[in-house]
């Protein structure tokens, strides 16, 4: 039985850090294990321009623990007022690594998002021209579409037509949650990739309703049936370089989660690597873990892999992780995988 695995230091290709005091509280969990992270721009107000991204990057850099080499990779929030030249200048300067498409109203702080992708054609054509990836929250928001079907409908009605109109556009389907999403990525060329989250590999929709409403398992896209979770796991351990880790770690304070209209998001940064080692061991694929967390993402984004490494060790005693992070504004619940974790980062 394998009890140790050494990996090039991982990157997180989908991370929410928020801002202000919450940023300061949650950032150390990521910097402890990850070399880089693609930081989502859905603040209030959102990170729309190059100037916004530079200001946000500086805020993150001030919060990085001393002596940490962590590098935040910035993104812009796509709106119908976004200017192609501003995007191109931000990318060519090295400031941003991607642009994020939120369908308006799809998730947390997405009200400024896009109502019709044809209205941002000029920006997307410029991105295709310069090779800048588009990260998409792949769900439609039509009221008549069931929440569990929104990803599959988005692929059919929005994403596939978009990629046919602009074939040179490089796209990352973020936090894929369905068999349809896995199949669509697997069957297409190297201009399309997908991130998979830690929690979607470990929970299905039953966890949200086990004995009552479990708000800390509520996220968007929402967890789906078990058959979809199994498809996600198969993709993660397949060795297919189109799939890589994006935790979608999305912190919300407990009072925002445990309310009459709770926020969507799972905070999994503190125990992600222990969870993933557990998953890959269960699937008999520990040899594929490094590719998923350390190699496939940099290859898609055209960045070098990290030169240093981390080691995970399986011990007889479970990980003694805190259930909550205490912040200046109140407690924040850490993702609970529902069972003990025996893989420790050493």
Q: Which residues are catalytic?
A: 248
d(CA 91, CA 322): 39
Sorted by sequence, the CB contacts under 8 Å of residue 160 that are 6+ apart come out as 184
Token couple for 253: 């304070």
d(CA 304, CA 107): 32
d(CA 208, CA 223): 8
Cis peptide before 221 (omega within 30 of 0): yes
Which of 31, 39, 16, 29 is closest to 70 using CA atoms?
Answer: 31
Cis peptide before 45 (omega within 30 of 0): yes
- Other beta carbons within 10 angstroms of residue 74's beta carbon come to 22
Q: Beta strands 243-245 and 192-196: pairing type?
A: parallel
Which of 33, 3, 13, 36 is closest to 241 using CA atoms?
Answer: 13
């Amino acid at each position: 039985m394998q009890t140790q695995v050494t990996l090039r230091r991982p990157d997180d290709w989908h991370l929410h850090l928020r801002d202000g005091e919450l940023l300061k509280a949650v950032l150390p969990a990521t910097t402890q294990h990850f070399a880089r992270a693609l930081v989502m721009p859905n603040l209030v107000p959102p990170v729309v321009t190059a100037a916004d991204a530079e200001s946000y990057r500086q805020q993150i850099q001030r919060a990085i623990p001393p002596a940490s080499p962590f590098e935040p990779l910035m993104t812009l929030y796509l709106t119908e007022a976004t200017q192609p030249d501003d995007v191109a200048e931000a990318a060519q300067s090295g400031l941003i690594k991607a642009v994020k498409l939120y369908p308006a109203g799809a998730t947390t702080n997405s009200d400024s998002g896009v109502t019709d992708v044809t209205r941002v054609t000029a920006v997307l054509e410029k991105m295709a021209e310069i090779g800048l990836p588009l990260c998409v929250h792949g769900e439609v928001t039509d009221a008549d579409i069931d929440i569990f079907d929104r990803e599959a409908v988005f692929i059919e009605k929005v994403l596939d037509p978009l990629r046919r109109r602009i074939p040179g556009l490089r796209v990352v389907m973020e936090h894929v949650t369905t068999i349809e999403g896995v199949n669509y990525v697997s069957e297409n060329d190297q201009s399309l990739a997908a991130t998979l989250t830690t929690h979607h590999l470990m929970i299905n929709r039953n966890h949200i309703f086990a004995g009552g409403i479990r708000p800390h398992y509520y996220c968007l896209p929402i967890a789906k049936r078990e058959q979809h979770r199994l498809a996600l796991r198969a993709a993660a351990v397949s060795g297919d370089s189109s799939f890589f880790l994006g935790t979608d770690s999305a912190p919300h304070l407990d009072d925002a989660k445990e309310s009459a209209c709770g926020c969507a998001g799972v905070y999994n940064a503190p125990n992600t690597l222990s969870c993933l080692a557990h998953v890959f061991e269960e699937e008999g694929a520990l040899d594929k873990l490094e590719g998923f967390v350390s190699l496939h993402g940099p290859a898609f984004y055209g960045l070098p892999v990290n030169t240093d490494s981390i080691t995970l060790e399986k011990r007889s005693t479970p990980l003694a992780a805190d259930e909550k992070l205490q912040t200046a504004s109140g407690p924040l619940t850490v993702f609970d995988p529902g069972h003990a974790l025996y893989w420790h980062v050493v």
